[in-house]
Structure 1
Amino acid sequence: MPLHVPPAPAPALRSVLTALGSATAVREARIPALHSAQGPATPELPLPVHVLDRITPEGVSATRLAGWRFQIRRGESAVAAAETRLTPDGWVFSHFFEGPYVASTERALRQAESLPQPYQPRLLSLPGLYMLTLWLHGDLTDDGAGGHPAATDLLVPLAPAPPGIPAHVPHRVSDLLPVLTHRVTPVRLMGSPA
């Protein structure tokens, strides 16, 4: 099934296009793939980036929109990513980056396109675990900016994933969230105050 990619805010896209057109921004990124002259670099597949700030003892997740990430494509594959963030003055370009999450995101998106049910793709960052997942949201009417993971949504851990959590294996939120809750819950030491 095709994925239903939510449209990014127009100012976010404009900020990325401006950065791609800026020799200074591209040079400062220190990403060799952006410097090469193998055709134009184009921003594609805007994904809202949500951060999972906390998981309550009851298993309820609290997420917030942190930005929009664009895959920067040159030719047939993504060579980098560009991230935007929201400021009091609106959406602005944040930075370019490369690394394993670029290819891993592209792989997870291709994998998600083969699923029988349509989804809205998003990224969900779990800073406490140094983990990033492709969040496949089942409500296609959402604008991508709000919401929290529903029990039936899928999370696909991107590589590199934390030890014991296999990358590129889709998990229902209801199955993976308890594992994540256990991982981020501090362990009390014997004799420490309750």
Structure 2
Amino acid sequence: MPLHVPPAPAPALRSVLTALGSPTAVREARTPSLRAAQGPASPELPLPVYVLDHVTETTGRPTPATLTGWRFLVRCGDRAVAAADTRLTPDGWTFSHFFEGPYVTSTERALRQAESLPKTYQPRLLSVPELYMLTLWLHGDHTADAASGHPAADDILVPLAPAPPGIAANRPHRVAELLPVLALRLTPPRAVLLA
């Protein structure tokens, strides 16, 4: 089934278009592939970026997540050459930075895989900073407001490559299955008292 990609806030899209149209912003970006791109570059597939501040839930129930920005894949020709992030400021959505690297390719791959799933999902990104981990979050309510919500037990998380050691990249997991694993990874070992 097709993914239901939510529309980004208009100011976020405008800020990315302005940055792409600025020779200074593109030239100063640390993205060689964007600077070397031949032809027009266009922002596509806007994904809301959420951060999971703490993974303490081991029951698979919804865990709080905070919307921190919108990420656009920057396409030139038939492939994504970079990504553009926006962030929310007191004055509204603004361009943050361009970047490239493995998460751009991995996001594109995970989105293609998600297209073949039997159910329609709303794609989002979910970051777990404590593990240096980024996942494609496939939200089961594809009509939901993309600017709100928390991972539900039946939502799907696809860890993007590079994933933390011991967690398979590009493999879909239900939230209820993956959160307990993440919680265990983040629980400090208990000290053993010797008598």
Would you say same fold, with TM above 0.5?
yes
Hey, what's the Cα distance between the residues in 2 that align with 1:70 and 1:63? 20
Q: State yes or no: 1:105 paired with 2:100.
A: no
Q: How does 1:141-156 map to 2 (within 5 A)?
A: 141-156=143-158
**RMSD of equivalent CA atoms:** 1.1
Return 5+ residue gaps in structure 1 as ranges.
none
**Higher RCO (CA-CA < 8 Å; seq separation 6+):** 2
Cα deviation for residue 73 of structure 1 reads 0.2
Report the identity percentage.
75
Return 5+ residue gaps in structure 2 as ranges.
none
Q: How many residues in Structure 1 have an aligned counterpart in Structure 2?
A: 191
Cα deviation for residue 55 of structure 1 reads 2.5
Contact 2:12–2:93 (CA<8 Å) still a contact in 1?
yes
Hey, what's the Cα distance between the residues in 2 that align with 1:53 and 1:152? 20
Q: Per the alignment, in what secondary structure is the counterpart of residue 135 of structure 2?
A: strand
Q: State yes or no: 1:20 paired with 2:20.
A: yes
Counterpart in 1 of 2:131? Answer: 129
Counterpart in 2 of 1:48? Answer: 48
Amino acid at match of 1:72: V
Comparing 146-155 and 36-45, the one that deviates more: 36-45
Comparing 48-57 and 151-160, the one that deviates more: 48-57
Cα deviation for residue 75 of structure 1 reads 0.5
| Deviation per residue, 1:101-128 (Å, 9 max, x gap) | 0000000000000001000000000000
The TM-score with structure 2 as length reference comes to: 0.95
Hey, what's the Cα distance between the residues in 2 that align with 1:166 and 1:189? 29
Task: Select the residue among 66, 69, 77 that pairs with 2:68.
Answer: 66
Amino acid at match of 1:53: D
Counterpart in 2 of 1:179? Answer: 181
The TM-score with structure 1 as length reference comes to: 0.95
Q: Per the alignment, in what secondary structure is the counterpart of residue 53 of structure 1?
A: coil
Counterpart in 2 of 1:36? Answer: 36
Amino acid at match of 1:88: P
Hey, what's the Cα distance between the residues in 2 that align with 1:105 and 1:4? 16
Hey, what's the Cα distance between the residues in 1 that align with 2:25 and 2:189? 44
Contact 1:55–1:62 (CA<8 Å) still a contact in 2?
no
Hey, what's the Cα distance between the residues in 2 that align with 1:66 and 1:137? 17
Hey, what's the Cα distance between the residues in 1 that align with 2:189 and 2:144? 37
Cα deviation for residue 79 of structure 1 reads 0.5
Hey, what's the Cα distance between the residues in 1 that align with 2:58 and 2:149? 18
Hey, what's the Cα distance between the residues in 2 that align with 1:108 and 1:57? 25
